């Protein structure tokens, strides 16, 4: 399902007719008449503003800063990190693990392994064919340390964006910054380039960009896999949790838990009911769990997300009692794990065909390697395991919009293609590319569509973003 600018304007007009236009829509519509509130705080100015300090946003900010751009990194939560920190998704899937992501996991392996022992097989790439995860707090600590080293980055937490500054520029809208809520008042941030790394595409939506939501029909993009008729459904959500032994000699009751897969810490083993004796011998004592999976009809709606999380909790109750009786504490993630929200329509829509063919477009700005992982949809076994493919620059450029880039899982792709690229190493690589492109545009005072793609690719190559991965 696609949401276009006509739908956006219709929606805004309906709200205007009711005279309840909040500031979040004022800047997005460019309507000065209703922009009554004067921000208490002075306007901040920067080269690049990155919205969302998660797997795509942190690398984007660091990459832009290392190119010499002045960056403001905004996070609506009280601390940076995103999915591995607030959704408890600290388990690595996909690759390649290069650039900022590689820097992060090397520190995690060296200093933060749960068992206290550095994994000797980790290697330079952090990809040794084994399963690795770290505590959410460890991710947060390392991310803070990475950001602290960058003098060009100003981090602002608990700063939700409530408006996007947009002006008409030829046949495209020009995004010139955002408005945030700060200490109960407003503050404007002017930037040459804005990067939407929110994970839900809200900034691009407020700016009036077209986006895709839910399942397309496979015929819409001539894909060889998918559903026959579009249904608009997104992938289900999962409430992640960590169980930790608190009573001496307690044993994980893996054979009694219902619907909760688990993985051990740096012992790198999946835990299964028929593996209980070996599990007892390994004696990990702490486990990461995919708690309960539920469907949310509309992951754009915070009310429905809250209801989905409540449903997940209700379905977890039986397991929670089993854990507690067995002598385990359970650490529930603060947020429900959301796999899919908006996908912002770009100059190019990445499809399953691109991934299956291992296509490396002329404007490739990131490499990716992961299987199709569409929860709630069956993929033929022979199509699951795909080789390396490329992310084109055009897929992070929203249509009919200037001054705005997307990063992470919200880029322009079909639902099938999105299921592969949504994992953290790939989101990080996309973020670094977006940050580098944003810095080039801002510092050279050129439009995002006018930057030298070859020069961008050369800079990304010098950062190691294309290391260790060849075209299929």
How high is the pLDDT of residue 463? 96
**Strands (DSSP E) along 134-184, which ranges?**
153-156, 161-169, 172-182
**What is the model's pLDDT at position 13?**
41
Instruction: For the chain, 472 residues long, give each residue's pLDDT as a single digit of tens.
Output: 666 644 544 444 433 332 233 333 334 444 443 356 789 999 999 999 999 999 999 999 999 999 999 999 999 999 999 999 999 999 999 999 999 999 999 999 999 998 888 988 888 889 888 889 999 999 999 999 999 999 999 999 999 999 999 998 778 899 999 999 999 999 999 999 999 999 999 999 999 999 999 999 999 999 998 899 999 899 999 999 999 999 999 999 999 998 878 888 766 678 888 878 888 888 889 999 999 999 999 999 999 999 999 999 999 999 999 999 999 999 999 999 999 999 999 999 999 999 999 999 999 999 999 999 999 888 888 877 888 999 999 999 999 999 999 999 999 999 999 999 999 999 999 999 999 999 999 999 999 999 999 999 999 999 999 986 543 3
Contact 347, 399 (CB under 8 A): yes
C-beta neighbour count of 111 within 10 angstroms: 13
Q: Is 76 helix (H, G, I), strand (E, B) or coil?
A: coil
Q: Is the distance from CB of 28 to CB of 206 less than 8 angstroms?
A: yes
73: helix, strand or coil:
strand
- What per-residue confidence (pLDDT) applies to 4? 60
Which of 41, 36, 116, 51 minimizes the C-alpha distance to 404?
51
Residue 355 falls in which region: left (phi positive, over 0), alpha (psi -120 to 50) or beta: alpha
Nearest C-alpha neighbor of 292 from the set 322, 321, 260? 260
Asked if 27 and 165 touch (Cβ cutoff 8 Å), the reply is yes
Which structural domains are found in the chain, ordered by start?
1-224+341-472 (3.50.50.60), 237-332 (no CATH)
Q: 369: how many CB neighbours lie within 10 A of its CB?
A: 22
CB-based contact 65:71 (threshold 8 Å)? yes
Biggest CA-to-CA distance, the chain: 70
Residue 423 structure tokens: 């994992």
């Amino acid at each position: 399902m696609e949401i276009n600018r006509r739908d956006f304007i219709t929606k805004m007009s309906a709200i205007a007719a009711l005279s309840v236009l909040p500031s979040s829509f004022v800047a997005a519509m460019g309507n000065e008449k209703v922009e009554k509130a004067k921000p208490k705080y002075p306007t901040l100015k920067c080269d690049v503003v990155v919205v969302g300090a998660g797997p795509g946003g942190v690398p984007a900010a660091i990459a832009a800063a290392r190119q010499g751009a002045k960056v403001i990194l905004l996070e609506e939560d009280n601390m940076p990190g995103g999915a591995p920190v607030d959704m408890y998704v600290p388990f690595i899937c996909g690759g390649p693990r290069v650039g900022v992501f590689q820097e992060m996991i090397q520190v995690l392996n060296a200093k933060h392994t749960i068992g206290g022992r550095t994994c000797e097989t980790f290697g330079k790439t952090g990809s040794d064919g084994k399963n690795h995860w770290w505590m959410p707090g460890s991710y947060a600590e390392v991310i803070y340390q990475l950001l602290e080293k960058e003098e060009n980055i100003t981090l602002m937490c608990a700063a939700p964006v409530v408006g996007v500054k947009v002006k008409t520029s030829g046949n495209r809208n020009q995004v010139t910054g955002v408005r945030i809520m700060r200490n109960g008042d407003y503050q404007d941030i002017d930037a040459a380039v804005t990067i939407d790394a929110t994970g839900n595409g809200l900034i691009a939506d407020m700016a009036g960009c077209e986006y895709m939501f839910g399942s397309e029909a496979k015929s819409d993009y001539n894909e060889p896999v998918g559903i026959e008729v579009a249904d608009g459904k997104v992938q289900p959500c999962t409430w992640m949790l960590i169980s930790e032994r608190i009573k001496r000699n307690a044993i994980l009751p893996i054979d009694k838990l219902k619907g909760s897969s688990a993985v051990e810490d740096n012992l790198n083993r999946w835990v299964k009911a028929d593996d209980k004796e070996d599990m007892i011998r390994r004696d990990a004592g702490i486990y990461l769990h995919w708690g309960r999976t539920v469907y949310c009809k509309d992951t754009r709606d915070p009310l429905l997300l809250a209801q989905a999380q409540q449903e997940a909790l209700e379905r977890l109750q039986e397991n929670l009692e089993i854990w507690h009786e067995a002598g385990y504490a359970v650490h529930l993630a603060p947020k429900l794990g959301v796999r899919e929200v908006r996908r912002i329509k770009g100059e190019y829509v990445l499809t399953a065909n691109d991934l299956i063919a291992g296509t490396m477009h002329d404007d490739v700005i990131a490499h990716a390697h992961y299987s199709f992982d569409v929860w709630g949809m069956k993929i033929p076994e022979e199509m699951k395991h795909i080789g390396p493919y490329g992310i084109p620059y055009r897929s992070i450029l929203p249509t009919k919009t200037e001054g705005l880039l997307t990063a992470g899982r919200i880029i322009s792709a079909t639902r099938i293609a999105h299921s592969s690229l949504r994992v953290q190493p790939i989101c990080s690589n996309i973020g670094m590319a977006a940050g580098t492109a944003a810095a080039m545009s801002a510092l050279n005072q050129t439009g995002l569509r006018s930057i030298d793609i070859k020069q961008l690719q050369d800079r990304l190559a010098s950062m190691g973003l294309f290391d260790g991965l060849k075209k299929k």
